[in-house]
């Protein structure tokens, strides 16, 4: 089965006005959030790879789990940083 390739470094973050912004250490924030927020051990290597800034391979089910997790209010990261990641994940193709 082919996997989706996700690299957090390819996500573009912008202000509401469309200006490009950098989110400092977003890979560490998202990696830690996954590590602490998703109970499945299957997500441990995914969290570690994202934290390290590496590309990860995801099944469609794993991608959907990440999207649902990032959409929840349990994630301690502001919406301006979560929304572009969610949109990027939704657009991934095999």
Nearest Cα neighbor of 23 from 11, 41, 34, 36 is: 11
Report the residue count for the chain. 94
CA distance 18 to 41: 37
* Model pLDDT, residue 19: 96
Spatial CB neighbours of 67, under 8 Å, sequence gap ≥ 6: 86, 89, 90
Based on the structure, what is the number of domains in the chain? Answer: 1
Please answer whether residues 6 and 67 qualify as being in contact, where contact means their C-beta atoms are separated by less than 8 angstroms. Answer: no
Domain range for 38 is 4-91
pLDDT tens, the chain, 94 aa long: 789 999 999 999 999 999 999 999 999 999 999 999 999 999 999 999 999 999 999 999 999 999 999 999 889 999 999 999 999 999 998 8
């Amino acid at each position: 089965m082919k996997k989706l390739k996700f690299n957090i470094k390819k996500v573009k973050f912008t202000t509401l006005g469309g200006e490009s912004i950098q989110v400092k250490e977003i890979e560490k924030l998202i990696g830690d959030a996954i590590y602490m927020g998703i109970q499945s051990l299957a997500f441990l290597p995914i969290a570690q790879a994202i934290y390290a800034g590496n590309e990860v391979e995801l099944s469609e089910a794993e991608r959907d789990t990440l999207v649902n997790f990032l959409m929840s209010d349990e994630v301690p990261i502001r919406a301006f940083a979560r929304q572009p990641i969610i949109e990027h994940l939704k657009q991934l193709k095999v």
